[in-house]
């Protein structure tokens, strides 16, 4: 199977690939020159005019990019101001008589982080056909990373512990279970783990981890990318056992993880178990709300009419036998059918 991945290009980026090109996760697809910190360029003094009058001599408009030695202002009598290096012109201060310029820095690569064939290139985006499967999540954190998948827990409901992370996990994308603490995430990042896939995580622990990473980045102590993907929800939520089995079958496959957009591509993989709203009797289901969040089971039957939950809401509900042996009545709205992964 294949899926299309879109790499958005910022204004001014220069694509380096063409349609049909086979790209690797670390390959540079395009380049851009990001603007750096603003600097002032004296205009009035150079033109020997008052700051207000010099404003009328500008030959460029704010927001435009000027290449090195391009004309910024001229008085029509031979006096000119040219920009010393390629810059973004942002504004003119009529009190100071100076222009605010943001010099364009060195070329910066734009990496796709996916492996596949380029199917479309335009100024806004590059599209890549990825030979593999897409596993969508419900949340995440961090940028884009790639690495080999590695199962790091035994059961889908297990918590990913800091002790499970060692030098052997460096550069890998770990598949954890029902949660990971901020301490575990910090250790994973420090050990060079590329990313972590979890059933759930406590929102507070993810925010705490993000806050410490931000502080470390601000003081220059953190380099390298790290991403987290949540598949099921927030809190202590196990992975769907069917999906966990699919991950087990693809242990060692290369994958690309996009934390912020909550997506995981697994290469050379068949489709993962699909999800469907409105399960039917006999379906394998996964529950999404407490007290059964993350538990999988079988929907034995639909309860006729409406059933009042413990919260008192009358709903359509079904009887579910969960895989831990518990049988409970669950609102159908809180269940998704987990369809088995297609054979092959």
Partner 1 sequence: MSVTVDTELALLVDVGSAWVKANVIGRVRGRWRLVAHATQPTSWGGGQLRDALAGQLARSADSRLGDRLAELVGAANRLECHTARRPGRLAVVAVSRELSGSSARRAAEAAGWDVVETVTLDDGRTLAERLATIQGIEVDAWLVAGGFDDGRSQRAVEAAALVASARRPEGGPVIFAGSSGLAEEVAALFEPGATSAVANPRPDARREDLPPLRAHLQDLLRESQAGEEETHLATVALPRAVGALAASSGMRILAVDLGARGAVRALADTDGDVVSRVHARGGLSGAAVSPGAAARAARLAGDAGDEATLADLLRTIRAHPSTLPQTPEELAGTQAAALVQVAAMLEEGAPAGLDLVIGCGRTIAGAPRPAQSARMLLDGVRPVGVTQLAIDSAGVLGPLGSLPDDEIVEGLALLADDVLVPLGTAVVCRGGDTGRVAMRVTVHRPGWPASQPVEVRAGQLQVLPLVRGQEAELTIELGDGVSLGAARRSPRVQAMATGGSVGLILDARGVPIALPRRGDDRRAMIAAWREALGREVPSGAERVA
Name the residues that contact partner 1, by CB under 8 A.
8, 10-11, 34-38, 61-65, 88-94, 100, 102, 105, 123-124, 138-139, 202-204, 207, 230, 233-235, 277-278, 288-293, 308-316, 330-331, 333-334
What is the nearest approach in angstroms of partner 1 to the Cβ of residue 250? 24
Nearer Cβ to partner 1, position 78 or 312?
Answer: 312
Give the C-alpha separation, 293 to 322, whole Å. Answer: 11
What are 221's two structure tokens? 């102590």
Instruction: Give the residue with the Cβ less far from partner 1, 136 or 342.
Output: 136
Q: Are 33 and 12 in contact (CB under 8 A)?
A: yes
CB of 279 to partner 1, least distance (A): 11
Other Cβ atoms within 10 Å of 51 Cβ, number: 17
Distances (CA, A) of 163 to 77, 152, 155, 181, 187: 74, 10, 16, 12, 9
Q: To the nearest whole angstrom, how small is the minimum distance from the Cβ of residue 21 to partner 1? A: 24
| 193 or 201: CB nearest partner 1 | 201
Nearer to partner 1, 97 or 156 (CB): 97
- Residue 47 vs 88, nearer CB to partner 1: 88
In 3-state terms, the chain is what percent helix, strand and coil (to 5)? 15, 40, 40
At its nearest, how many Å lie between partner 1 and the CB of residue 90?
A: 5
Q: What angle do CA 238, 243, 247 make, to 5 degrees?
A: 105
Nearest distance from C-beta of residue 96 to partner 1, angstroms:
10
d(C-alpha 311, C-alpha 291), whole Å: 12
Residue 104 near residue 89 (C-beta atoms within 8 A): no
């Amino acid at each position: 199977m294949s899926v299309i991945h879109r790499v958005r290009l910022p204004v001014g980026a220069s694509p380096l690939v063409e349609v049909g090109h086979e790209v690797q996760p670390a390959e540079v697809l395009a380049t851009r020159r990001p603007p750096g910190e603003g600097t002032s360029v004296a205009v009035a003094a150079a033109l020997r005019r008052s700051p207000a009058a010099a404003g009328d001599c500008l030959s460029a408009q704010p927001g435009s990019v000027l290449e090195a030695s391009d004309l910024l202002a001229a008085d029509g009598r031979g006096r000119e101001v040219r920009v010393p290096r390629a810059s973004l012109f942002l504004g003119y201060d009529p009190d100071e008589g100076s222009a605010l310029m943001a010099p364009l820095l060195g070329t910066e690569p734009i990496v796709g982080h996916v492996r596949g064939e380029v199917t479309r290139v335009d100024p806004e985006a590059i599209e890549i056909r990825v030979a593999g499967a897409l596993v969508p999540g419900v949340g995440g954190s961090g940028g884009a990373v790639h690495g080999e998948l590695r199962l790091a827990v035994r059961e889908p409901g297990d918590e990913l512990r800091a002790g499970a992370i060692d030098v052997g996990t460096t550069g890998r994308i770990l598949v954890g279970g029902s949660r990971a603490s901020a301490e575990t995430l910090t250790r994973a990042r420090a050990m060079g783990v590329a990313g972590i896939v979890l059933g759930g995580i406590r929102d507070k622990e993810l925010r705490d981890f993000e806050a410490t990473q931000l502080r470390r980045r601000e003081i220059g102590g953190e380099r390298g990318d790290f991403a987290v993907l949540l598949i099921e929800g927030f809190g202590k939520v196990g992975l769907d056992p069917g999906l966990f089995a699919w991950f087990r079958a693809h242990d060692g496959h290369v994958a690309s993880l996009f934390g912020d957009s909550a997506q995981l591509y697994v290469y050379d993989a068949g489709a993962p178990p699909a999800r469907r709203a409105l399960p039917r009797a006999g379906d394998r289901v996964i529950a999404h709300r407490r007290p059964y969040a993350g538990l999988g089971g079988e929907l034995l039957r639909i309860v006729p009419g409406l059933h009042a939950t413990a919260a008192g809401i009358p709903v359509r509900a079904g009887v579910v036998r969960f895989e831990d042996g518990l049988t409970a009545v669950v609102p159908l709205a809180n269940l998704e059918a987990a369809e088995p992964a297609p054979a092959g």
